[in-house]
Amino acid sequence: MTIAVDKSRVLVVGDERTVANPLRHVLSIEGYHVRTAAGVTEALVSLSEWRPGLVVWGLSATLGNLDEAMSVLLGGARGTIVRGLTEKNLVIDTLLPANPGRFSWGGHLGKQMQLPVVEEIERSSTTLVFVNVRSQAEAWYQLILDAAALAKTFAAIEKDLGPIDLLTNNAASFYAIGPIWEVDPDAWWGDIELNIRGTFNCCRAVLPAMLKRKSGRIINLTGGGTGTSFPYGSGYGTSKAGVLRFTESVSDTLEGTGVSMFGMDPGLVRTSMTEFQMTDAAGRKYLADIEDLFARGIDVPPALAGRLSVEIGSGRFDRLAGRMLFAARGDQELTDHEVDDIVARDLRSLRVNGTPDEHPYTGSRER
């Protein structure tokens, strides 16, 4: 049973009736701000219908409008607010990185802030730390380039939480925007390194255990430039084409092992990366069509990639191992016949059109 909630919908994969047996309590932590609570409320209403008597708890250390928040969380139902009565002397401190850099979402803030946060905690008897969730992802962003540290992390995950059955390589970099004679060479190469080396490192870290178990699936996210030219995003496009070639090559070596690897295009999703492209000077100059696409409604809900990931993880698309699936183009609805046709026609893969047949070469042919 899988339940995924985003800001606009609740997605349930499996038979919802199976929720009724184990589910007794739901805890929502800082998840019911009035402006973003629609998906949470919808999910809780659905869960309450499937499980009468469900107990819902809300936990917040930031909200001032608790009565309104409780009403939103419970969908207007009656509830009780529990408050502490002990007065406390509060000191609010804001920690900022010494060198935030140009690309604040680019993966260095989380790592840079580790020591200042630890020092702040050690100076106080009790500390409540609020961080942007993305800062946790930023630490991973750096980690995936360190193969040794990454291997230790995956080993710790398997030890504490059990085997990794499905790995989705989603981290990506797209800094270098524009013609190659204008972009920062280090930024261009950084896109290549993070997108390909990071994917390589993560796959290499999880594959030995998967191969030992003879079970596991890996999804490598592709993107713009994978199958077509990307003139002003040559680093990113080259890396994503490389990711798909890497996916097919490794998939061929995994044949018969019980482990599968796939490419997946999530579609144009509004993220920190696309927001940067619409605000950066080079992005506005060379990728102006992105803002236009969003304005025309080409704004793919991230839940679609999540839904397709669940389907891939279930084994439904194992016959398409090594190929690319599309989250935003209806692949969730592919029939068995359509899957067979993709395989028979060798679609969803990188090929050079018009490649001539190989001929014996004796060295006597004039050029």
Predicted pLDDT of residue 3? 43
The residue among 140 and 217 whose pLDDT is bigger is 217
Poorest-pLDDT segment among 12-21, 201-210, 302-311: 12-21
Whether 362 is covered by a domain: the verdict is: no
**Residue 148 resides in a domain:** no
Classify residue 83: in a domain, yes or no. Answer: yes
Cβ pair 247, 322 in contact under 8 A: yes
According to the model, what pLDDT value does residue 256 have?
96
How far is 292 from 205, CA to CA, in rounded Å? Answer: 40
What tokens were used for 133?
Answer: 């969730």
Looking at the structure, do residues 80 and 96 belong to the same domain, yes or no? no
Q: pLDDT at residue 367 above 70?
A: no
Same domain membership, residue 249 and residue 121: no
8 or 239, which is more confident: 239
Among 87, 106, 133, the domain boundary falls at 87
Strand partners, 10: 5
| 93-115 mean pLDDT | 63
pLDDT of res. 21: 57
233 plus 294 within the same structural domain: yes
Same domain, 106 and 72: no
Instruction: Among 87, 113, 135, identify where a domain stops.
Output: 87
Cα gap 85→320, rounded to integer Å:
59
Q: Provide the mean pLDDT of the chain.
A: 82
- The residue out of 47, 70, 87 marking a domain boundary is 87
- Within this chain, do residues 194 and 252 fall inside the same structural domain, yes or no? yes
Contact assessment for residue 201 and residue 171, using Cβ atoms and an 8 Å cutoff = no
Q: What is the pLDDT of residues 7-41, one digit of tens each?
A: 333 444 444 444 445 678 887 776 555 445 556 66
Pairwise pLDDT comparison (302 vs 74), residue with the higher score? 302
Q: Identify the pLDDT of residue 28.
A: 76
Mean pLDDT of 264-286: 89
pLDDT at 132: 59
Instruction: Assess if residue 39 is contained within a domain.
Output: yes
Sheet holding 166-169, edge to edge: 166-169, 216-221, 259-265, 324-326
Full residue range of the structural domain in which residue 135 is found: 89-143
Q: Is residue 70 located within the same domain as residue 131?
A: no
pLDDT digits (tens, 9 = 90+) for 323-344: 999 999 999 999 999 999 999 9
> Is residue 177 in some structural domain?
yes
273-285 in b/e burial notation, b at 16+ Cβ within 10 A? bbebbeebebbee
Whole-angstrom CA distances from 234 to 78, 242, 271, 320 are 56, 12, 20, 27
Q: Is the domain of 240 the same as that of 268?
A: yes
Whether the CA torsion 168, 173, 179, 184 is positive or negative: it is negative
290 lies in some domain? yes
Same domain, 304 and 323: yes
Predicted local confidence at residue 123, as pLDDT:
85
Name the percent of the chain lying above pLDDT 90: 44
Could you tell me if residue 153 is inside a domain?
A: no
What band does 62 get if pLDDT is binned at 50, 70 and 90? Answer: low
| 356 in any annotated domain | no
Least confident of 40-54, 130-144, 304-318: 130-144
Kindly report the pTM of this predicted structure: 0.69
Residues 212 and 294 in one domain: yes
On whether both 125 and 197 belong to a single domain, the answer is: no
Distance CA 106, CA 3 (A): 30
Burial zone of 44 (CB within 10 Å; 0-12 exposed, 13-18 middle, 19+ buried): buried
Pairing outcome for strands 25-29 and 166-169: unpaired
> Based on the structure, what is the number of domains in the chain?
3
pLDDT of residue 149: 85
Residues 129 and 165 in one domain: no
CATH for 219: 3.40.50.720
Q: Are residues 29 and 80 in the same domain?
A: yes
Residues in the chain: 367
